[in-house]
């Protein structure tokens, strides 16, 4: 009994913190989304309840479809390449060799850099007039591409930068998953005369499936949240061509002279719904793996 | 036998890190060369970008250090006792709390930022450093509790029972046994709290963009927003902003790897 009391005493600060710093902002966000806030009533309070009017505004806006589609494309394409390249690198590093630990550590650098650093570096690499990428295209005889300033390429550009940032995470997690696969399995497979490729498809890949699922689901949760990279490189533009739900929500609330907090919060709440579904899926898969 | 892997590995790493090299290269390029075709090595290296960082960005740098250090302290003070309770005192309701922490990590930052903004405007505490610290800590606290719980759970129960028999209360056991025994976990949690607060752009942009003290991420953002974009200064600031990440890789590699894989892979 005494230890139970002590147990809760140690938790009280955290629980109070979660209430103040998580529950309260989330509640504020819901409140913002169902009221007709103006800049003045934002400070003074007393904005009228408008029910789902902000949601109706958001769903009726043509940008909503673009932002949703871009969010899906950005997420799916990022995950596919981050995972594939990360897995290839993990397999490459799985057999230790001279310098392998050092090189693996260096691979982590893109993941640890502040996003504003990575995003601005990529923005300069992809700059239309002075970027290295267009200079390289010129060398091989191709014309310049307006990577960040044309609607056809802006989403591709931010996705490329995001893939680069995400590879290290996939590498590290998949690498440690590979380390947990017993050596005996590979020996048995080699004794049966399996080639490297066969061993990968029939032994390694299936055994790695639990770790792969967790990696992809965590990646999904992270990628839905991405804001900095896109905002710094393109601000979601030009004309909304690279906007996602996260950047659109920010743009509505903070990107214009006249903020529209209601619609901004409404978009945020749509995003949180998607993120929580992805998150619950992750927790379910993780729990099931812990049981088995 | 595996010798081909070393040169290939070096090549792959070089490709992967090329943008980082490019950042350094551009940071050393004179503005007069910036509009010419880019050169792969800095042919006329200049420190003008870094001189400008020294002239203009030092206050931002100081704020970033302050915010990151504050976030580390706040995160550890909240997370370590809670993790001890979850791992060792095991009160009822700990599963529910663990679940809440997992979900909390998944909430997109933009939603937290808007919610905090609404609250801070009402209370009149936007543009304060401690307000930014409080917001930044939300990125790290759930992660810190979860990783510290897993580290503290590996302290043997027998040791704690022996301490209790010797008359140590829960607080004493926490401070003198569990905390020192899980210092690797404390280091990992502190590293990530520092790095995330140091890197934060979203909370800074929403909650502190009119503040007297602003972090380095906003300093870079201001440079990018300028019309006469001086990319050597932007990239020089970016290089300076990357220093903590680089230091971490060099001195605390294993902690970083532990942080990345925690929650994703169980050993």
A5-14, A20-29, A279-288, B145-154: segment of lowest average pLDDT: A279-288
Name which of A159-168, B113-122, B251-260 the model is least confident about: B251-260
Interval B184-197 mean pLDDT: 90
Residue B231 to residue B33: CA distance in whole angstroms: 11
Are A177 and A244 in contact, with CB atoms under 8 Å apart?
no
Per-residue pLDDT at B131: 93
Pick the residue with more confidence: B260 or B207?
A: B207
Q: Is residue B45 part of a domain?
A: no
- What is the residue range of B112's domain? 59-261
ipTM attached to this prediction: 0.88
Is B113 a domain residue? yes
- Sequential DSSP letters for B208-255: STT-SS--HHHHHHHHHHSSS--HHHHHHHHHHHHHHHHHHHHH-HHH
Residues in chain A: 292
Question: Within the 123-182 window of chain B, which residues sit less than 8 Å (CB to CB) from chain A?
Answer: 134-135, 137-138, 141, 145, 169-170, 174
Closest CA to A167 of A87, A80, A86: A86
Give the pLDDT mean for B58-75. 94
**Whole-angstrom Cα distance, residue A274 to residue A64?**
14
The CATH number for B177's domain is 1.10.3720.10
CA–CA separation, B230 and A180 (whole Å): 48
Which pLDDT belongs to residue B17? 94
Domain contains B48 = no
Residue range A213-259, pLDDT digits in tens: 888 988 898 899 899 999 999 998 798 899 999 999 999 988 887 88
In a domain, B194, yes or no: yes
Q: What pLDDT score does B267 carry? A: 39
Tell me which chain B residue has its CA closest to the CA of residue A124. Answer: B231
**Token pair belonging to A127:** 């700059």
Residue B266, pLDDT score: 43
The C-alpha atoms of residue A111 and residue A116 are separated, in whole angstroms, by: 12
Mean pLDDT over each residue of chain A, to the nearest integer: 88
Q: Which of residues 180-219 of B touch A (CB under 8 A)?
A: 195, 198-199, 201-202, 205-206, 217
Assess if residue B19 is contained within a domain: no
Pull the structure tokens for residue B176: 């003198």
Residue B110 is predicted with a pLDDT of 92
Contact A284/B at CB under 8 A: no
The CB-side HSE value for B156 (13 A sphere, CA atoms) comes to 4
Count of domains in chain B?
1
- In a domain, residue B134? The reply is yes
A15 contacts: CB under 8 Å, gap ≥ 6: B97
pLDDT band at A1 (very low <50, low <70, confident <90, very high): very low
Put simply, the answer to whether A116 touches B119 (Cβ < 8 Å) is no
Chain A residues within 8 A of B95 when measuring between CB atoms: none
Q: Buried (b) or exposed (e) across B106-142, using 16+ Cβ within 10 A? A: bbbbbbbbbbbbbbbeeeeebbbbebbbbbbbbbbbb
Domains and CATH numbers, chain A: 62-291 (1.10.3720.10)
- pLDDT by residue (tens digit) across B112-144? 999 999 899 888 888 999 999 999 999 999 999
pLDDT score of A194: 81
pLDDT at B79: 95
With bands split at pLDDT 50, 70 and 90, how would you rate the model's confidence at A90?
very high
Q: Does B255 touch chain A (CB under 8 A)?
A: no
Span B88-120, pLDDT tens digits: 888 888 888 988 998 888 889 999 999 999 899
Least confident stretch, A142-151, A252-261, B76-85: A252-261
Tell me, yes or no, whether B38 lies in a domain. no
Task: Specify the range with the lowest mean pLDDT, choosing from A27-36, A187-196, B132-141.
Answer: A187-196
Asked if the structure places residue B226 within a domain, the reply is yes
Q: Verify whether the Cβ–Cβ distance A7 to B90 is below 8 Å.
A: yes
Q: Do B92 and A164 touch (CB under 8 A)?
A: no
Give residue B227's pLDDT. Answer: 63
């Amino acid at each position: 009994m005494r230890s139970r009391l002590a147990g809760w005493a140690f938790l009280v600060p955290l629980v109070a913190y979660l209430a103040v710093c998580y529950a309260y902002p989330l509640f504020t966000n819901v409140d913002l989304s169902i009221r007709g806030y103006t800049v003045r009533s934002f400070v003074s309070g007393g904005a009228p309840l408008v029910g789902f009017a902000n949601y109706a505004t958001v769903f009726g806006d043509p940008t909503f479809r673009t932002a949703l589609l871009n969010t899906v494309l950005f997420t799916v394409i990022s995950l596919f390449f981050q995972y594939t390249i990360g897995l290839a690198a993990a397999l490459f590093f799985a057999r230790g060799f001279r310098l392998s630990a050092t090189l693996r550590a260096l691979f982590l650098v893109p993941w640890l850099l502040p996003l504003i650093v990575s995003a601005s570096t990529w923005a300069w690499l992809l700059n239309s007039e002075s970027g290295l990428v267009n200079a390289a295209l010129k060398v091989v005889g191709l014309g310049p591409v307006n990577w960040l300033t044309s609607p056809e390429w802006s989403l591709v550009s931010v996705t490329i930068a995001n893939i680069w940032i995400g590879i290290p995470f996939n590498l590290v997690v998949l690498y440690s998953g590979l380390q947990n696969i017993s050596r005996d399995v590979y020996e048995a497979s080699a004794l049966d005369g399996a080639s490297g490729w066969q061993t990968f498809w029939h032994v390694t890949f299936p055994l790695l499936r639990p770790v792969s699922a967790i990696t992809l689901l965590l990646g999904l949760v992270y990628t839905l949240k991405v804001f900095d990279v896109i905002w710094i490189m393109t601000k979601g533009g030009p004309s909304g061509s690279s906007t996602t739900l996260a950047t659109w929500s920010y743009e509505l609330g903070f990107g214009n002279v006249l903020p529209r907090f209601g619609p901004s919060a409404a978009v945020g709440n749509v995003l949180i719904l998607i993120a929580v579904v992805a998150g619950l899926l992750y927790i379910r898969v993780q729990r099931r793996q812990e049981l088995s | 036998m595996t010798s081909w892997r070393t040169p290939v590995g070096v090549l792959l790493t070089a490709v992967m890190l090329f943008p980082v090299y490019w950042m350094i290269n551009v940071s050393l390029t004179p503005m007069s060369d910036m509009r010419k075709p880019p050169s792969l090595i800095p042919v006329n290296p200049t420190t003008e970008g870094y001189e400008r960082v020294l002239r203009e960005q030092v206050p931002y740098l100081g704020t970033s250090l302050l915010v990151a250090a504050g976030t580390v302290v706040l995160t550890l003070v909240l997370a370590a006792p809670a993790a001890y309770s979850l791992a060792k005192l095991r009160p009822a309701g700990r599963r529910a709390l663990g679940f809440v922490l997992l979900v909390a990590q998944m909430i997109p930052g933009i939603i937290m930022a808007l919610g905090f903004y609404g609250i801070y405007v009402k209370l009149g505490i936007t543009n304060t450093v401690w307000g930014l610290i409080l917001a930044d800590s939300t990125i790290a606290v759930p992660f810190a509790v979860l990783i510290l719980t897993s580290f503290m759970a590996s302290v043997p129960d027998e040791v704690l029972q022996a301490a209790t028999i010797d008359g140590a209360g829960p607080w004493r056991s926490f401070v003198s046994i569990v905390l020192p025994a899980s210092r690797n976990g404390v280091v990992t949690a502190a590293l990530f709290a520092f790095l995330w607060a140091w890197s934060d752009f979203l909370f800074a942009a929403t909650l502190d963009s009119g503040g007297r003290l602003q972090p380095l991420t906003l300093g870079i953002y201001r440079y990018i927003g300028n019309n006469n974009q001086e990319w050597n200064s932007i990239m020089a600031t970016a290089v300076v902003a990357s220093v903590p990440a680089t230091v971490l890789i060099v001195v605390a590699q294993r902690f970083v790897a532990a942080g990345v894989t925690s929650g994703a892979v169980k050993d």
